[in-house]
A and B are shown apart, each in its own frame.
Chain A
Amino acid sequence: MVDDFIYLDYAASTPLDPLVAERLHDCRESVFANPSSNHAAGRISRAMIEGGAQQLAALLNVDPGTLIWTSGATESDNLGVAGAARFRSHRGKHLVTLLTEHKAVTDVFQMLEKEGFEVTWLKPDAGGCLDPAAFASVLREDTQLASIMYVNNETGVMQDIEAIGSICRERDVLLHVDAAQAVGKIPIDLQALPVDLLSLTAHKFYGPKGIGALYIANRPGCRVDPILFGGGQQRRIRPGTLPADLIAGLGLAAEIAQSRIETDLEHLGKLRRALWAAIRDVEGVLVNGDIESGFPGILNVSVSGIEGESLLLELEPICVATGSACNSKSQEPSYVLRALGRSDRLAQSAVRFSMGRPTTEADVEFAGRRYRQAVARLRDLAPEAAA
C-alpha cells in the first residue's frame, strides 16, 4: 500500500517512528492500568507518564511539571488561548493574534470575541512574516495575551518568537505559541525563549496521534482556566485519565527528535532546494511565504492559470495538500495565502509539498517532474484566456 504513493504531506501528519511503534506495542501489551490508581499496576502506568514527561521536558529544556497532557495541538491551543484569556480577564480583555494562525487558534479567538474580548488581528507582510515592531505597536495597557505561531502549517514561514516574546515580557503580556509544526523539528529552548504557553502534538514529529501537550511557564500570572471538567488529574487544569502508552510514545519520539534534529534539518533543506530547483522555471510559479526564513520541510507554491483541485488530482500518486489538511474539504482559497496578498486564483492553485525523514531525493525529483507535467497538461486543456 505504501508503495502506491509518494507521501509529501508530512506537515499534515508523520508516520510513527519504528521505535515508537515498537514502544507503543509493548506498552499496550502490559501497561493498561489507570495511572491514578494507587496499586502496583497503576504505578507502572504513572512511571511511563513520568518517563514521557522527562523526555519531552528534555527536548524543550523545561521542568516536566510545566507540561499538561492533552489530546493534541487543537486542544492545547484551545486550552492555552481560551484558558489564559479567561484567567486574566479581570486585568483586561484585549488580545492579539495573527491572521495566518491555524484554525485551532483563530476559531478560539472568534469565540472569545463573542464572550466580550477585543481581538486585534495582525496582517503579516507579503512573505508571511510578522514585524515585531508592528506587533509592539498594537499592544495596549489592557492587552493580556498574544498568540503567534512558530512555524506556519501552510507556508513554513517562521516568526521571530524571540523578539515577539521579549516584547511581551516587557509589556506583561502572556505569549502563547502554537508550535505544532516546530517541536521536534527545530531546536526550541524554553529556558532561553520568552514563551509563556506553547502547544504541541506528537503526530507531527513521528509520535502517535491523540496525544499532545501544553507547556505553561512557571511564572506569576501565567495560568489557565480549565476548559474541561470532571476530575482532579493534572492539577484540575486538564482532567481525564491519561493514556500512558501514548505519552510513552510521545516521549520516545521527543527523545529521537532531540538526537537528530540537526540531521533532519540538513536533510530537509537539501530536499527543498532540489524540489524548488526542479520546478522554479515553470512559467508563473511562485513560492508562498519567505523561502529564506522558512522551515525547510515545507515548500508551498502557486502557479498562474491552474486550478488547484485538478492539479492535486493530476499530481497523483503524490500525496500533497492544497490548503491545510484540517481545512482541505473546503473549496475556499486558503485564508493564509489570501492574507499574504495572493489573489483567489493564485491561492486556489497552491500546493504544499512537505518533506520528512523518509523522503528521498528520488521522491522529490519525481514530484518535480510530475508537477511540471501536470501544469503543462492542465494549461493545454484550458481555454486560452485562462492559460
Chain B
Amino acid sequence: MSNDAYSARVRDYFARPAHAGDLSGGVAVDIDEQGVRIRLAALGDRGRIQSLRFRAWGCPHVIAACEYFCARYEGAPIESLDVFQASDIMNDLSVPVEKTGRILVIQDAVRSLGRIIGGGSAA
C-alpha cells in the first residue's frame, strides 16, 4: 500500500493539465459546491465533442479529475456525457472515499454540460 496521498496519475494530471484553459465559441457550465469551483467548456460538432477545456479551484484530486475527464472525452459522442460516472474517476485515479462528494460535483457538471451541448445553448 502506497503512503502517498496521490496516485501517479493524479500527480501527472495535476502537474500537466493539458486541457486547462478556455474555449471560444463553445458552451460552458460553472459549478460552485462542496468547496469546489469548476468551469467545464465544450465545443461540439456533428454529435461529437470536438474540444474540452476546464478551470478548477479545488484539491489536487479535483484538478486531476477535470483533466482526466477532458482527456478521456474529447472526441467522444455527446450522448456519452449523459452516462458519465463519478465512479470511473474514483477508480481510475484512486481517489480517497472521503472526496466522493467533490467528484460527484464534477459528475453533475459533466451531465449539465451534456444537456447544454446537446441543446446547443452557448455559454
Contact = CB atoms under 8 A, between A and B. Distances in A.
Interface of A: 305, 307, 309-310, 313, 331, 348, 378, 380-387
B57 A305 contact: yes
B69 interface: no
B115 interface: no
A307 B59 contact: yes
B59 A309 contact: yes
Contacts of A305: 57
Contacts of A385: 30, 32, 37
A309 B63 contact: no
Contacts of B14: 310, 313
Interface string B94-112: 0000100000000000000
B58 A310 contact: yes
B55 A383 contact: yes
Contacts of B75: none
A384 B39 CA distance: 9
A165 to B, nearest CB: 41
A307 B38 CA distance: 13
Nearest to B10: A313
Q: What secondary structure prevails in chain A residues at the interface with B?
A: helix
9 contacts: A307-B35, A307-B58, A307-B59, A309-B59, A310-B60, A383-B38, A383-B55, A385-B32, A386-B37
B63 A383 contact: no
B116 interface: no
A348 B37 CA distance: 15
B19 to A, nearest CB: 11
A310 B35 CA distance: 13
Given A313-B6, A313-B14, A382 B56 contact: yes
Contacts of B63: 310, 381
B17 interface: yes
A310 B32 contact: no
A383 B39 contact: yes
A385 B39 CA distance: 10
Contacts of A313: 6, 11, 14, 60
A263 B11 CA distance: 40
B6 A386 contact: no
A381 B17 contact: yes
A382 B32 CA distance: 12
The listed residue with most B CB atoms (<10 A of its CB), out of A310, A383, A387, is A383
